[in-house]
A = this chain, B = another copy of it.
Amino acid sequence: MADQERVAIQQAIKDQGEIVRKLKADKAEKDKISEEVAKLLELKAKLGDDAAPKKFILKTGKGTRDFNPQQMAIREEVFNKIIDCFKQHGAETIDTPVFELKETLTGKYGEDSKLIYDLADQGGEMLSLRYDLTVPFARYLAMNKITNIKRYQIAKVYRRDQPAMTRGRFREFYQCDIDIAGQYDAMIPDAECVKMVSTILKTLELGEFEIKLNHRKLLDGIFAACGVPEKDFRPICSAVDKLDKTPWLDVRKEMTEEKGLDPDVADAIGEYVKLKGQMDLVEQLQNDAKLMKQKSAVMGLEDMKLLLHYCSLYGCLNEVSFDLSLARGLDYYTGVIYEAVLKGFVHNADKGNDEESQGVGSVAGGGRYDGLVGMFDPKGKKVPCVGVSIGVERIFAIMEAKLQATNKKVRTTSTEVYVISAQKNMLEERMKLCRQLWDVKIKTEHSYKKNPKLLDQFQYCENNGIPIAVIIGESEIQQGILKLRKIDSREERTIPRESFIQEIRNELKLLSDEAVSE
């Protein structure tokens, strides 16, 4: 390396060091700091072997995270409750690859396409990481000529978005979707989606929630009735979509100034989108002569009427609200749209940050998309679909915060028995006992040390919530017995070695009965 070059790099290192120090002094976001530290380390690496020994940048990619065992335990619990509900409704599951041909994703996400992760061109096909599970599902249906399926899929999707990890917004995150595909009678599958969201949110005990409902055809009818030119339906719809985070006046400004809508037209829309209700609102709108001249409004309202009626039969009418301000961002919806929000939930990290704290309560969303599968079929054959996606990352964040608040410890293992020896040279005896317990499927551990200390072994049981210890020593061997210790109560009793499996089974049964009756 030329001296001149080295000097330039050393200067750059000095400057970059200054940036990092300043960020740290200003207590900037952790993510931002790591990014600048990474740049610094890269510069240092350029100096080569004669500089400090090469340092690895020990981090995960921006906007991604590891899950530790505690987080995995929460995640498993959430997934199990959601999957239970999906299975109660007769759903089956599929899986698709994490990447798709780039062109499969092209033209499906509008201006969000810039957020798609592409794979490098290493020869062969052009590939992109999936952006959601809906487009791969539609590709799957068209490719396999499937016209009827009720499927759920839980998998990670990828978006090169600005991460806001404290609020549960990541670049790699789980989606948890259920979709019902098939040509059926109006609103029957649509109502079942509402029922499932309601059941899931109740089961997860996240507090009070509301499932907002609206209909794309009704929105189109309203736009037409108010005098929006048809070409502006989608842009105006995406302005309405911001109403959960933005005050009406700002949305109105976007409509009139950015999108050139006549202010009177915007005001007319403003009157509609503040309406909320249930069957009363359906009736009110059905008496709106101007609106009823729009065929799509008539159709949308008929659907909404049926949907609310079915929700009542399914016992989930109390949780739903027919809300004309709900619009949803995605272009591909063609009928009913859903969004579930937790009432009054403000995430801890967002306190004092008004703009961002609104809308964080959204924990599920979806709608009907009757045209998407047809985009993949050579003959354009349509398969009507309706579905919802549960926002599990946000739910994980809430559950973690709740758990932290209660100071409860989650077990990350399910070990039932720990085999302990108080004396030296008992490793072989411990191994024999473990083998017997494992062979009858009792969850068992013992120390990986040859001569572990007694107290360390008890401590291990307490730290890991293991309920029972089996203790073996010289005198137990001679007498053909073992000691059984209950970790919680520290009670110990002697059990005969020849029937120790049965004794332990009885004890485990008692413990599980106690846990149920608590």
Q: Which of A55, A93, A172, A464 has the most CB of B within 10 A?
A: A93
Decide yes or no whether A412 CB sits under 8 A from chain B: yes
Interface membership of chain A positions 430-447, coded 1 if the CB is closer than 8 angstroms to chain B and 0 otherwise:
011011001101111100
Decide yes or no whether A199 CB sits under 8 A from chain B: yes
Interface membership of chain A positions 444-473, coded 1 if the CB is closer than 8 angstroms to chain B and 0 otherwise:
110011100000000000001000000000
Residues B57 and A435 in contact, CB atoms below 8 Å apart: no
Residues B90 and A195 in contact, CB atoms below 8 Å apart: no
Decide yes or no whether A66 CB sits under 8 A from chain B: yes
Looking across the interface, which residue of chain B has its beta carbon closest to that of A57? Answer: B101
**Distance, CA A77 to CA B119, complexed state (A):** 32
Decide yes or no whether A51 CB sits under 8 A from chain B: no
Residues A90 and B413 in contact, CB atoms below 8 Å apart: yes
Q: List B contacts of A100 (CB < 8 A).
A: 60-61
A165 to chain B, nearest CB (A): 12
**Distance, CA A152 to CA B87, complexed state (A):** 26
Residues A315 and B439 in contact, CB atoms below 8 Å apart: yes
Residues A97 and B66 in contact, CB atoms below 8 Å apart: yes
Looking across the interface, which residue of chain B has its beta carbon closest to that of A68? Answer: B94
From B117, B160, B310, B443, contact of A88 by CB (8 A): B443
Decide yes or no whether A516 CB sits under 8 A from chain B: no
Residues B438 and A64 in contact, CB atoms below 8 Å apart: no
**Distance, CA A96 to CA B65, complexed state (A):** 7
Q: List B contacts of A443 (CB < 8 A).
A: 87-90
**Distance, CA A100 to CA B444, complexed state (A):** 34
Residues A58 and B125 in contact, CB atoms below 8 Å apart: no
Decide yes or no whether A246 CB sits under 8 A from chain B: no
Interface residues of A in 188-241 (CB under 8 A from B): 188-189, 195, 199
Decide yes or no whether A62 CB sits under 8 A from chain B: yes
Residues A90 and B439 in contact, CB atoms below 8 Å apart: no
Decide yes or no whether A19 CB sits under 8 A from chain B: no
From B117, B156, B376, contact of A58 by CB (8 A): B376
A321 to chain B, nearest CB (A): 20
From B92, B143, B314, B445, contact of A59 by CB (8 A): B143
A377 to chain B, nearest CB (A): 8
A503 to chain B, nearest CB (A): 19
Looking across the interface, which residue of chain B has its beta carbon closest to that of A95? Answer: B67
Residues A98 and B172 in contact, CB atoms below 8 Å apart: yes
**Distance, CA A361 to CA B413, complexed state (A):** 32
Residues A94 and B67 in contact, CB atoms below 8 Å apart: yes
**Distance, CA A431 to CA B190, complexed state (A):** 13
Q: List B contacts of A73 (CB < 8 A).
A: 92
Decide yes or no whether A127 CB sits under 8 A from chain B: yes
Looking across the interface, which residue of chain B has its beta carbon closest to that of A38? Answer: B125
**Distance, CA A413 to CA B152, complexed state (A):** 11
Residues B103 and A57 in contact, CB atoms below 8 Å apart: yes
**Distance, CA A143 to CA B87, complexed state (A):** 38
Interface membership of chain A positions 396-424, coded 1 if the CB is closer than 8 angstroms to chain B and 0 otherwise:
00000000000000001111000000000
Residues B435 and A62 in contact, CB atoms below 8 Å apart: no
A179-187, A351-359, A484-492: which lies at the B interface?
A179-187
Looking across the interface, which residue of chain B has its beta carbon closest to that of A436? Answer: B315
Given A98-B156, A431-B313: A180 in contact with B90 (beta carbons within 8 A): no
Residues B120 and A66 in contact, CB atoms below 8 Å apart: no
Q: List B contacts of A61 (CB < 8 A).
A: 97, 99-101, 125, 127
A366 to chain B, nearest CB (A): 17
A319 to chain B, nearest CB (A): 14
Q: List B contacts of A142 (CB < 8 A).
A: 56, 58
Residues A118 and B122 in contact, CB atoms below 8 Å apart: yes
Given A188-B450, A313-B435: A90 in contact with B428 (beta carbons within 8 A): no
**Distance, CA A375 to CA B450, complexed state (A):** 28
**Distance, CA A142 to CA B57, complexed state (A):** 11
Residues A314 and B97 in contact, CB atoms below 8 Å apart: no
Given A140-B66, A185-B449, A199-B438: A72 in contact with B99 (beta carbons within 8 A): no
A502 to chain B, nearest CB (A): 18
Q: Which of A120, A124, A439 has the most CB of B within 10 A?
A: A120
A-B contact pairs, 25 of them (CB 8 A): A60-B101, A61-B99, A64-B97, A66-B97, A69-B151, A87-B413, A87-B414, A88-B443, A88-B444, A89-B444, A90-B443, A92-B413, A98-B98, A98-B129, A98-B156, A98-B172, A99-B172, A185-B427, A185-B448, A188-B450, A195-B435, A313-B428, A313-B432, A314-B434, A315-B439
* Residues of A near any B CB (own CB < 8 A): 38, 55-62, 64-69, 72-73, 75, 84, 87-101, 103-104, 117-122, 124-125, 127, 129, 139-140, 142-144, 149, 151, 156, 158, 160, 172, 180, 182, 184-185, 188-189, 195, 199, 310, 313-315, 375-376, 378, 412-415, 427-428, 431-432, 434-435, 438-439, 441-445, 448-450, 464
Q: Which 3 A-B pairs have the closest CB atoms?
A: A184-B448, A64-B97, A69-B92
